[in-house]
Amino acid sequence: MKRRGILLLMVLALVVLSGVGCANNTPAPDTNNNNNNQGDVQGNQQQTPKDMNVAQIIYDQWKGSAHATAVEENDPENSPALREGGGCFKCHNGYGFELNPDTLEGIGILKGQSCDTCHTKYGHDLATSGSVEIPLGTIKGGKGALCIACHNGRGKEPDQVKAPHHSVQTDMLLAKSGAEVEGFDYSTHSHAGADNKCLACHMAADDNTIKDHTFKMNKENIANSCGRCHDFDSFNPTARDDFDGDGNKEGYQDEVKGLADMLEKTINEKLGDKKFESSHGKIVFTDAQGNALDAPPSEEVYNAAWNLLFVRYDGSNGVHNPNYSVQLLQQSYKLLTGEDVPNAKMK
């Protein structure tokens, strides 16, 4: 552990020294990651080829990811990275995260989630301790505790006013914060038990043992992510049943998308000439003239809208929690229409 820590610091220092940000002319160090998978489930004994420039590869991967820029970086006045109210800067400003302060004082820099954000100070502490305090409680997530610190629903619960935040991935994984129907038994799912949570899929080591720093799910690397537990070659593997009732057993993600579209259509039918949207942290319903209503037309409609946004913002189209995603959408449909999703297998 210690050796790896030192190795990493050296890499980081050299990345900075070589001025990777502006020029690629200084050769970055080669880190020969011997034994770095010991203890991992996959037990991949392969080594990084000696001539491979790991720091440069990781830098390039990160540079192409959304973490490399802050949300609305070109509009600092409106960027959540420089907004104190609501604590936006704590997740949206990598510098704010590292220092973990209560206020913006002294944080004039607008930056996304850089190497330092995850590898030094607060980020380093979280990944090492494997535990993080979020509004849902104390979560044990291994190295994934780092991701969970930002990618959580911020304690928002359906309350007839609020909209879910875009970062609900942890809540979805743990089957929390959906607008649940009373009396229905929602199930959790085994993906919550994946080693190091988010990392198991999003940062799987590639064939050269480099831990993926694109952070997005990488199709090329599917054998090392999903492939450790399943034998399919798509993020959209054929579902066991037809959950949206369109007469086909499609890919699981397509079933979830089908259900979401169906629920959206049903909400819109209920609303007639009214509309809804997520705006400034609230679900806003408007009348035919575009004026905001004082309250949602009904509790069922608001809850259905919450679940629709919740599933869509999660961004995995059901993979994070196959059961919970389908159950939330199906039960919302049932509550709105009084019947099961026609021709579908109810989960």
Rounded to whole angstroms, the Cα distance separating 205 from 173 reads 21
* Burial zone of 345 (CB within 10 Å; 0-12 exposed, 13-18 middle, 19+ buried): middle
Name the DSSP class of 159. -
Least distance (Å) from ligand HEC to the CB of residue 75?
Answer: 11
Rounded to whole angstroms, the Cα distance separating 212 from 68 reads 14
Cβ closest to ligand HEC, residue 47 vs residue 337: 47
Regarding 163 and contact with ligand HEC (CB under 6 A), the answer is: no
Rounded to whole angstroms, the Cα distance separating 28 from 77 reads 36
Rounded to whole angstroms, the Cα distance separating 234 from 230 reads 10
Regarding 8 and contact with ligand HEC (CB under 6 A), the answer is: yes
Least distance (Å) from ligand HEC to the CB of residue 104?
Answer: 12
Contact 116, 94 (CB under 8 A): yes
**Among 206, 278, 219, CA closest to 253:** 219
Regarding 67 and contact with ligand HEC (CB under 6 A), the answer is: yes
Cβ closest to ligand HEC, residue 154 vs residue 271: 154
Least distance (Å) from ligand HEC to the CB of residue 137?
Answer: 14
Regarding 14 and contact with ligand HEC (CB under 6 A), the answer is: no
- 229-288 positions binding ligand HEC, by CB under 6 A: 229-230, 235, 237, 239-240, 252
What string marks each residue from 306 to 325 as x (binds ligand HEC by CB under 6 A) or -? ---------xxx-xx-x---
Helix (H, G, I), strand (E, B) or coil at 64: coil
Least distance (Å) from ligand HEC to the CB of residue 300?
Answer: 27
Q: Which of 179, 194, 311, 335 binds ligand HEC (CB under 6 A)?
A: 194
Regarding 164 and contact with ligand HEC (CB under 6 A), the answer is: no
Task: Encode 220-248: b = buried (16+ Cβ within 10 Å), e = exposed.
Answer: ebbebbbebeeeeeebbeebeebbbbbee
Q: Count CB atoms within 10 A of the CB of residue 91.
A: 20
What angle (nearest 5°) sits at the alpha carbon of residue 62, between those of residues 169 and 190? Answer: 30
Name the DSSP class of 76. G
- 290-309 positions binding ligand HEC, by CB under 6 A: none
- 201-240 positions binding ligand HEC, by CB under 6 A: 201-203, 209-211, 213, 215-217, 225-226, 228-230, 235, 237, 239-240
Regarding 146 and contact with ligand HEC (CB under 6 A), the answer is: yes
Contacts with ligand HEC by CB under 6 A: the residue count is 84
Regarding 58 and contact with ligand HEC (CB under 6 A), the answer is: yes
Least distance (Å) from ligand HEC to the CB of residue 138?
Answer: 15
Cβ closest to ligand HEC, residue 59 vs residue 324: 59
Regarding 122 and contact with ligand HEC (CB under 6 A), the answer is: no
Rounded to whole angstroms, the Cα distance separating 290 from 139 reads 42
Regarding 329 and contact with ligand HEC (CB under 6 A), the answer is: no
